[in-house]
Amino acid sequence: MANSFFKKIIAAIAASVVFVPVTGTLPKAVASPAAPDEYHDDWLHVNENAEIVDMYGNPVWLTGCNWFGYNVTTQCFDGVWSRNMHEMLNEMADHGFNLLRVPMSTQILLQWKNNEPDPYMVKINEWKNPELTVEGVQGGKPKYSFDIWNQAVAWCRENGIKIMMDIHCATTASNGHQMPLWYDSNYSTDDWLEALSWFAEYYKDDDTVIAIDLKNEPHGKNDGQGMAIWDDSTAINNWKYAAERGAAACLEQNPNLLIMVEGIEVYPKFEEGHDWNSPAVDYANYDNPPFHGAWWGGNFRGVRDYPIDLGEYQSQLVYSPHDYGPLVWEQEWFKKDFTRETLLEDYWYDTWAFLIEEKISPLLMGEWGGFLDEEHDSTGDNRKWMTLLRDYMIEKRIHHTFWCFNENSGDTGGLLTNDFQDWDTEKYEFVEVSLWQDDNGKYIGLDHKIPLGQSGNGISLSEYYSGSPSTNPTTPTVTTDPTTDDNDVVYGDANCDDEVNMADAVLIMQSLANPDKYTLTDEGSANADCSGDKDGITNKDALAIQKYKLGLLQALPE
């Protein structure tokens, strides 16, 4: 598709979308400055090496989580029915999550755009959240849902958290994600485009909102329920065509937004004579189905034949797969003693990993997660899959938003537990090693001026790249045995399996974060001290291993 076609899409959308002013909820407009200021200096772009970079060309790593609720009839983040929203956002930042993916619906965005009343009761605990009441007192009447949302945006800004809005479904509903397409019987494609355009325009002068995920998990497999396809047609259900139109709707209003495009579910086996009209089949009882299957929103095989074309805004495109483990569904690639190599061969590579392996595009894993406890995962296969994917994302610097912050996701659980009161420490420790940190263990935010969080455990993007001191006196170090013979040292092999890979980096970070649970042997400690400083084991050693695996170092020690 030529650039001129993309420009025509923008022109058509600009001509067709009518903006209705919202009264009573809009903050004071911020004038666009001649030069970047604190509201315009954090926009991100994609460079020629398929890296997401800041305005200075510095690579960044988006490592966040999902928090749903605005896509369902609570019309607010779930859990605010029992805890203070501000407190939970503070904790999210203090725990190192620099990006928040927020599922919404076309319905709620158009409701806000048109200043329509809330169709459902906003579900908050008014006693725990007096800031979210009209009276500003405990027990007061809840504010309008859009006012509550804008308060959340303000609190994210003060914490250095960036936001990615995700249109999870067309109609607000707890099961809305099960609908296969970006339109339904209530809201059309034009409604979806209108909602995207309005949201992008509304926040164009606030770089707290840095990205839009156009549609959560387009799917379907020709079974009469609706089917997302991917080709060069203008069919109403062609996700490639719709995604380019959706991107145009956003970028015409704010050309600095990152645009996340998810995949679909199935792609025809054209090489075997099949096409989009091939019949749906019972995959569990069919030896050779006509389609290459995938998780909903996870299939990017179509990019080989028909890549997304954003014209002059191509630098804003990020592909965003979703990936889950056997506890969500026992996919074919799990029905063996699977490894990273088998997952790549059987599913990952041709479905989405080729995009990062071949430097076609950066990837943001929009959803990944699951149960780790023995009660749910008696075989350990779900933990095994999560470990393999986590370590692969660390090694390849795949951006990601963990599913999820909520505890009330039935097939995965979440980071919080006990009615949102407490953190699941085991799961958090598992995820924490995949969050962006400097060599002193400080969490790195995506804001150039505002450090991540309130606890002092986070730093700003400028602080990270300026080389300003970022000491963390609480970070433990593990001293090595000075009597170890250097001839016996295999630098980087912290787990002593005769290989140097991301498992070693992860073990080092785990041993520092939780030394009571994760320990290194004397041999592993000697191997792990590979940053070249001979200062005992710190996060710098884990970073050195990552550099080595990325090809930035030819050998260890650094």
Three-state SS letters, 410-451: CCCCCCEECCCCEECHHHHHHHHCCCCECCCCCEECCCCCCC
Reported as a pLDDT band with limits 50, 70 and 90, residue 229 is very high
Record the tokens describing residue 322, joined without a space: 């979703």
What's the full length of the chain, in residues?
558
User: 63-412 and 476-549: same fold?
Assistant: no
Q: What gap in Å lies between CA 471 and CA 556, rounded to an integer?
A: 24
Where do the domains of the chain lie? 63-412, 476-549
Q: What gap in Å lies between CA 509 and CA 433, rounded to an integer?
A: 6
**Per-residue pLDDT at 167 exceeds 90:** yes
The predicted structure's pLDDT at residue 513: 65
Record the tokens describing residue 145, joined without a space: 């849902």
Reported as a pLDDT band with limits 50, 70 and 90, residue 318 is very high
pTM: 0.83
Q: Which of 194, 217, 252, 432 is catalytic?
A: 217
Q: Which helix (H) or strand (E) holds 30?
A: none
The predicted structure's pLDDT at residue 16: 42
**Per-residue pLDDT at 303 exceeds 90:** yes
Minimal CA–CA distance to 203: which of 257, 260, 167?
257
Record the tokens describing residue 535, joined without a space: 């200062």
The predicted structure's pLDDT at residue 12: 46
Q: Which of 367, 407, 432, 523 is catalytic?
A: 367
294, 263 in Cβ contact below 8 A?
yes
CATH fold of the domain at 63-412 = TIM Barrel (3.20.20)
Q: Is 345 a catalytic residue?
A: no
Number of H-type helices and E-type strands within the chain: 15, 16
Q: What gap in Å lies between CA 54 and CA 146, rounded to an integer?
A: 29
Q: Is 244 a catalytic residue?
A: no
pLDDT (tens digit per residue) in 43-88: 999 999 999 999 999 999 999 999 999 999 999 999 999 999 999 9
pLDDT (tens digit per residue) in 170-218: 999 999 899 999 999 999 999 999 999 999 999 999 999 999 999 999 9
Q: What gap in Å lies between CA 203 and CA 208, rounded to an integer?
A: 8
The more confident residue out of 96 and 221 is 96
CATH superfamily, domain 476-549, is Dockerin domain (1.10.1330.10)
Q: What average pLDDT does the structure give for the chain?
A: 88
Q: What is the mean pLDDT of residues 468-489?
A: 43
The predicted structure's pLDDT at residue 11: 47
